[in-house]
Amino acid sequence: MEKNYLILLYYCYAPIEDPEAFREEHHLYCLENELRGRIIVASEGLNGTVSGTREACEQYMKDVKSDPRFAHTDFKVEAHDRHAFAKLHVRVKPEIVHSGLGHLKPYEKTGTHLSPEEFKKLKDQQDVVVLDVRSNYEHNVGRFKNALTLNIENFRDFPDKVKELEQYKDKKVLTYCTGGIKCEKASAYLLEQGFKDVYQLHGGIIKYGIEAGGEDFEGKCYVFDNRLTVDVNSVNPTVISQCFVCGTKSDRMVNCANPVCNKHVAICEECGWELEGACSPECMAIPDKREYDGSGYYQKGMNGYNPAKGLKRRHDDITT
Protein backbone atom coordinates (compact mmCIF):
# COMPACT_ATOMS: atom_id res chain seq x y z
CA MET A 1 0.00 0.00 0.00
CA GLU A 2 1.41 3.35 -1.06
CA LYS A 3 2.19 5.67 1.87
CA ASN A 4 1.69 9.21 0.63
CA TYR A 5 0.91 10.68 4.04
CA LEU A 6 3.13 11.47 7.01
CA ILE A 7 2.46 11.51 10.73
CA LEU A 8 4.52 14.04 12.68
CA LEU A 9 5.14 13.93 16.41
CA TYR A 10 6.99 16.89 17.89
CA TYR A 11 7.37 19.34 20.73
CA CYS A 12 9.48 22.34 21.50
CA TYR A 13 9.96 24.11 24.82
CA ALA A 14 10.45 27.77 23.95
CA PRO A 15 8.86 30.95 25.33
CA ILE A 16 5.78 32.17 23.44
CA GLU A 17 4.88 35.70 24.48
CA ASP A 18 1.29 35.69 23.18
CA PRO A 19 -0.02 32.10 23.00
CA GLU A 20 -3.52 33.17 21.90
CA ALA A 21 -2.23 35.15 18.92
CA PHE A 22 0.13 32.34 17.97
CA ARG A 23 -2.69 29.78 18.22
CA GLU A 24 -4.86 31.85 15.87
CA GLU A 25 -2.12 32.11 13.26
CA HIS A 26 -1.10 28.45 13.57
CA HIS A 27 -4.69 27.19 13.37
CA LEU A 28 -5.24 29.10 10.14
CA TYR A 29 -1.97 27.77 8.70
CA CYS A 30 -3.02 24.17 9.40
CA LEU A 31 -6.44 24.73 7.81
CA GLU A 32 -4.93 26.16 4.65
CA ASN A 33 -2.55 23.21 4.37
CA GLU A 34 -5.15 20.54 5.23
CA LEU A 35 -3.28 19.28 8.27
CA ARG A 36 -5.17 17.42 10.97
CA GLY A 37 -4.32 16.47 14.51
CA ARG A 38 -3.88 17.96 17.97
CA ILE A 39 -1.63 20.90 18.73
CA ILE A 40 -1.19 22.48 22.15
CA VAL A 41 0.15 26.00 22.49
CA ALA A 42 1.33 27.40 25.82
CA SER A 43 3.58 30.16 27.03
CA GLU A 44 6.25 27.44 27.47
CA GLY A 45 6.13 26.10 23.91
CA LEU A 46 4.46 23.77 21.41
CA ASN A 47 3.33 20.13 21.46
CA GLY A 48 1.76 18.51 18.44
CA THR A 49 0.94 15.39 16.51
CA VAL A 50 -0.43 15.97 13.04
CA SER A 51 -0.98 14.14 9.79
CA GLY A 52 -1.16 15.30 6.20
CA THR A 53 0.14 14.67 2.73
CA ARG A 54 3.87 14.18 2.42
CA GLU A 55 4.21 17.53 0.68
CA ALA A 56 2.15 19.42 3.30
CA CYS A 57 4.03 17.83 6.22
CA GLU A 58 7.44 18.52 4.76
CA GLN A 59 6.47 22.17 4.24
CA TYR A 60 5.06 22.33 7.77
CA MET A 61 8.33 21.11 9.29
CA LYS A 62 10.28 23.62 7.23
CA ASP A 63 8.00 26.50 8.22
CA VAL A 64 7.96 25.65 11.95
CA LYS A 65 11.75 25.44 12.08
CA SER A 66 12.10 28.71 10.18
CA ASP A 67 10.87 30.46 13.34
CA PRO A 68 14.00 31.04 15.48
CA ARG A 69 12.09 30.00 18.62
CA PHE A 70 11.45 26.54 17.20
CA ALA A 71 14.57 26.07 15.07
CA HIS A 72 15.72 23.10 17.19
CA THR A 73 12.37 21.24 17.03
CA ASP A 74 12.93 17.52 16.53
CA PHE A 75 10.21 15.96 14.37
CA LYS A 76 9.54 12.23 14.58
CA VAL A 77 8.28 11.27 11.12
CA GLU A 78 6.39 8.14 10.14
CA ALA A 79 4.87 7.29 6.75
CA HIS A 80 1.20 6.33 6.56
CA ASP A 81 -1.35 5.53 3.89
CA ARG A 82 -3.95 8.10 5.03
CA HIS A 83 -4.71 10.76 7.60
CA ALA A 84 -4.27 9.50 11.16
CA PHE A 85 -6.76 12.07 12.45
CA ALA A 86 -10.26 13.10 11.42
CA LYS A 87 -10.16 16.55 13.01
CA LEU A 88 -7.93 19.50 13.72
CA HIS A 89 -7.69 21.00 17.20
CA VAL A 90 -5.30 23.81 18.09
CA ARG A 91 -5.71 24.83 21.72
CA VAL A 92 -4.06 27.07 24.29
CA LYS A 93 -3.33 25.41 27.64
CA PRO A 94 -1.25 26.25 30.73
CA GLU A 95 1.33 23.57 29.86
CA ILE A 96 2.14 21.65 26.68
CA VAL A 97 1.96 18.44 28.70
CA HIS A 98 -0.06 18.40 31.91
CA SER A 99 2.42 17.84 34.73
CA GLY A 100 1.63 20.36 37.45
CA LEU A 101 5.26 21.44 37.10
CA GLY A 102 4.68 24.71 35.32
CA HIS A 103 7.50 26.40 37.24
CA LEU A 104 10.09 24.25 35.45
CA LYS A 105 11.60 25.57 32.24
CA PRO A 106 13.31 22.74 30.31
CA TYR A 107 14.88 25.24 27.92
CA GLU A 108 16.85 26.52 30.92
CA LYS A 109 17.63 23.26 32.74
CA THR A 110 16.76 19.63 32.04
CA GLY A 111 18.39 16.20 31.88
CA THR A 112 21.23 15.56 29.44
CA HIS A 113 19.90 14.52 26.04
CA LEU A 114 21.06 11.16 24.70
CA SER A 115 20.82 10.16 21.07
CA PRO A 116 19.26 6.72 20.44
CA GLU A 117 22.72 5.20 19.95
CA GLU A 118 24.07 6.83 23.11
CA PHE A 119 21.07 5.59 25.07
CA LYS A 120 21.55 2.09 23.65
CA LYS A 121 25.20 1.98 24.77
CA LEU A 122 24.50 3.34 28.24
CA LYS A 123 21.24 1.62 29.24
CA ASP A 124 22.72 -1.74 30.34
CA GLN A 125 25.62 -0.43 32.40
CA GLN A 126 25.71 -1.48 36.04
CA ASP A 127 25.39 2.01 37.55
CA VAL A 128 22.36 2.90 35.39
CA VAL A 129 18.62 2.73 36.02
CA VAL A 130 16.27 3.12 33.04
CA LEU A 131 13.09 4.94 34.09
CA ASP A 132 9.80 4.87 32.16
CA VAL A 133 7.88 8.07 32.97
CA ARG A 134 4.69 7.10 31.11
CA SER A 135 1.31 5.98 32.42
CA ASN A 136 0.32 2.40 33.24
CA TYR A 137 -1.65 1.70 30.07
CA GLU A 138 1.35 2.80 28.01
CA HIS A 139 4.12 0.79 29.68
CA ASN A 140 1.85 -2.25 30.14
CA VAL A 141 1.85 -2.83 26.37
CA GLY A 142 5.51 -1.99 25.80
CA ARG A 143 8.66 -0.89 27.64
CA PHE A 144 12.43 -1.26 27.63
CA LYS A 145 13.84 -4.49 28.98
CA ASN A 146 14.52 -4.19 32.74
CA ALA A 147 13.07 -0.67 32.85
CA LEU A 148 11.69 0.71 36.09
CA THR A 149 8.00 1.64 35.74
CA LEU A 150 5.79 3.72 38.00
CA ASN A 151 2.20 3.04 38.98
CA ILE A 152 0.65 6.21 37.57
CA GLU A 153 -2.61 6.82 35.72
CA ASN A 154 -1.52 10.22 34.37
CA PHE A 155 1.78 12.04 34.02
CA ARG A 156 0.62 14.64 36.54
CA ASP A 157 1.02 11.87 39.16
CA PHE A 158 4.76 11.63 38.45
CA PRO A 159 5.95 14.15 41.09
CA ASP A 160 4.21 12.17 43.84
CA LYS A 161 6.12 9.02 42.84
CA VAL A 162 9.61 10.51 42.90
CA LYS A 163 9.97 9.78 46.60
CA GLU A 164 9.91 6.08 45.66
CA LEU A 165 13.11 6.64 43.65
CA GLU A 166 15.32 7.85 46.49
CA GLN A 167 17.42 4.66 46.39
CA TYR A 168 18.57 5.55 42.87
CA LYS A 169 19.93 9.03 43.64
CA ASP A 170 23.53 7.84 43.28
CA LYS A 171 22.94 6.15 39.93
CA LYS A 172 22.70 7.45 36.39
CA VAL A 173 18.97 7.80 35.73
CA LEU A 174 17.96 7.43 32.07
CA THR A 175 14.38 8.60 31.48
CA TYR A 176 12.31 7.82 28.42
CA CYS A 177 8.78 8.33 27.06
CA THR A 178 6.98 8.19 23.71
CA GLY A 179 8.45 11.23 21.97
CA GLY A 180 10.57 12.91 24.62
CA ILE A 181 8.27 15.64 25.88
CA LYS A 182 7.46 14.14 29.29
CA CYS A 183 11.14 13.48 29.95
CA GLU A 184 11.93 17.18 29.64
CA LYS A 185 9.84 17.94 32.73
CA ALA A 186 10.49 14.60 34.48
CA SER A 187 14.28 14.90 34.26
CA ALA A 188 14.16 18.58 35.23
CA TYR A 189 12.10 17.67 38.30
CA LEU A 190 14.49 14.88 39.26
CA LEU A 191 17.36 17.37 39.14
CA GLU A 192 15.37 19.78 41.27
CA GLN A 193 14.80 16.99 43.81
CA GLY A 194 18.52 16.34 44.21
CA PHE A 195 19.26 13.64 41.61
CA LYS A 196 22.71 14.42 40.20
CA ASP A 197 23.13 12.33 37.05
CA VAL A 198 19.96 12.53 34.96
CA TYR A 199 19.57 11.82 31.24
CA GLN A 200 16.74 11.52 28.75
CA LEU A 201 16.26 9.63 25.50
CA HIS A 202 16.08 12.41 22.94
CA GLY A 203 13.14 11.84 20.61
CA GLY A 204 11.78 9.09 22.82
CA ILE A 205 10.80 5.56 21.90
CA ILE A 206 9.67 6.57 18.41
CA LYS A 207 13.05 8.01 17.43
CA TYR A 208 14.82 5.05 19.07
CA GLY A 209 12.85 2.71 16.83
CA ILE A 210 13.61 4.71 13.73
CA GLU A 211 17.33 5.25 14.36
CA ALA A 212 18.41 2.31 16.54
CA GLY A 213 16.07 -0.44 15.37
CA GLY A 214 14.23 -0.46 18.71
CA GLU A 215 16.56 -3.09 20.18
CA ASP A 216 15.48 -4.30 23.65
CA PHE A 217 12.20 -2.41 23.56
CA GLU A 218 9.74 -5.13 24.48
CA GLY A 219 6.19 -5.04 23.16
CA LYS A 220 4.67 -2.14 21.24
CA CYS A 221 4.59 1.60 21.76
CA TYR A 222 1.27 3.22 22.60
CA VAL A 223 0.55 6.25 20.40
CA PHE A 224 -2.15 8.90 20.54
CA ASP A 225 -3.80 8.50 17.16
CA ASN A 226 -6.00 5.96 15.42
CA ARG A 227 -3.21 3.37 15.25
CA LEU A 228 -3.21 2.98 19.09
CA THR A 229 0.10 1.07 19.05
CA VAL A 230 3.05 0.83 16.68
CA ASP A 231 5.91 -1.62 16.24
CA VAL A 232 9.25 -0.30 17.45
CA ASN A 233 11.65 -3.25 17.67
CA SER A 234 12.93 -4.74 14.41
CA VAL A 235 15.92 -6.44 16.10
CA ASN A 236 14.62 -8.66 18.90
CA PRO A 237 10.85 -8.07 19.15
CA THR A 238 8.67 -9.76 21.73
CA VAL A 239 5.17 -9.53 23.20
CA ILE A 240 4.92 -8.70 26.91
CA SER A 241 1.25 -7.81 27.38
CA GLN A 242 -1.59 -10.21 28.08
CA CYS A 243 -5.21 -10.14 27.03
CA PHE A 244 -7.14 -8.35 29.78
CA VAL A 245 -9.96 -10.86 29.39
CA CYS A 246 -8.45 -14.32 28.93
CA GLY A 247 -4.77 -13.83 29.84
CA THR A 248 -3.26 -15.05 26.56
CA LYS A 249 -0.35 -13.08 25.12
CA SER A 250 -1.63 -10.20 23.05
CA ASP A 251 -0.45 -6.72 22.11
CA ARG A 252 -3.72 -5.60 20.50
CA MET A 253 -4.52 -2.40 22.38
CA VAL A 254 -8.25 -1.67 22.67
CA ASN A 255 -10.28 1.11 24.21
CA CYS A 256 -13.20 -0.50 26.02
CA ALA A 257 -16.39 -0.02 23.99
CA ASN A 258 -18.14 1.21 27.11
CA PRO A 259 -17.46 4.97 26.91
CA VAL A 260 -17.87 5.34 30.67
CA CYS A 261 -15.20 2.69 31.32
CA ASN A 262 -12.94 3.53 28.35
CA LYS A 263 -10.07 1.40 29.69
CA HIS A 264 -6.99 1.18 27.47
CA VAL A 265 -6.00 -2.48 27.66
CA ALA A 266 -4.68 -5.33 25.53
CA ILE A 267 -7.47 -7.61 24.29
CA CYS A 268 -6.89 -10.50 21.90
CA GLU A 269 -8.82 -10.63 18.65
CA GLU A 270 -11.06 -13.50 19.76
CA CYS A 271 -12.10 -11.80 23.01
CA GLY A 272 -12.47 -8.49 21.21
CA TRP A 273 -15.12 -9.88 18.90
CA GLU A 274 -16.75 -12.03 21.57
CA LEU A 275 -17.22 -9.05 23.90
CA GLU A 276 -17.89 -6.60 21.04
CA GLY A 277 -14.89 -4.47 22.04
CA ALA A 278 -15.77 -4.36 25.74
CA CYS A 279 -13.32 -5.29 28.48
CA SER A 280 -15.89 -7.33 30.46
CA PRO A 281 -19.40 -8.81 30.14
CA GLU A 282 -20.63 -5.95 32.33
CA CYS A 283 -19.28 -3.34 29.91
CA MET A 284 -20.62 -5.35 26.97
CA ALA A 285 -24.14 -5.11 28.47
CA ILE A 286 -24.14 -1.30 28.45
CA PRO A 287 -26.87 -0.21 25.97
CA ASP A 288 -24.99 2.77 24.59
CA LYS A 289 -21.62 1.11 24.11
CA ARG A 290 -19.67 2.09 21.01
CA GLU A 291 -19.76 -0.03 17.86
CA TYR A 292 -16.72 -2.29 17.60
CA ASP A 293 -15.11 -2.68 14.17
CA GLY A 294 -12.15 -4.80 15.22
CA SER A 295 -9.73 -1.92 15.67
CA GLY A 296 -10.54 -0.91 19.24
CA TYR A 297 -10.34 2.75 18.24
CA TYR A 298 -13.46 4.89 18.33
CA GLN A 299 -13.51 8.09 16.37
CA LYS A 300 -15.62 10.64 18.16
CA GLY A 301 -18.65 11.76 16.21
CA MET A 302 -18.23 14.92 14.20
CA ASN A 303 -21.15 16.52 16.13
CA GLY A 304 -21.22 19.60 13.94
CA TYR A 305 -17.42 19.78 13.92
CA ASN A 306 -16.17 22.85 12.12
CA PRO A 307 -12.39 22.93 11.52
CA ALA A 308 -12.44 26.74 11.67
CA LYS A 309 -14.15 26.80 15.07
CA GLY A 310 -12.16 28.87 17.50
CA LEU A 311 -10.75 31.25 14.93
CA LYS A 312 -11.54 34.86 15.71
CA ARG A 313 -11.70 35.42 11.97
CA ARG A 314 -13.84 33.08 9.90
CA HIS A 315 -11.81 31.01 7.45
CA ASP A 316 -14.19 31.74 4.55
CA ASP A 317 -13.90 35.47 5.21
CA ILE A 318 -10.15 35.23 4.84
CA THR A 319 -10.04 33.07 1.72
CA THR A 320 -12.72 34.87 -0.31
Give tens-digit pLDDT for 23-82. 999 999 999 999 999 999 999 999 999 999 999 999 999 999 999 999 999 999 999 999
State the catalytic residue, choosing from 30, 177, 183, 271. 177
Per residue in 262-279, pLDDT (tens digit) is: 999 999 999 999 999 999
Nearest to 165 by CA among 202, 135, 200, 190: 190
Strand pairing report for 172-176 and 128-132: parallel
Tell me if residue 177 is catalytic. yes
In the chain the domains, ranked by start, together with CATH numbers, are: 5-96 (3.30.70.100), 112-217 (3.40.250.10), 241-297 (no CATH)
Output the CA torsion sign for 143, 148, 151, 156: negative
Collapsing DSSP to helix, strand or coil, 52 comes out as strand
Which DSSP category does 166 fall into? G
Rounded to two decimals, the pTM is 0.88
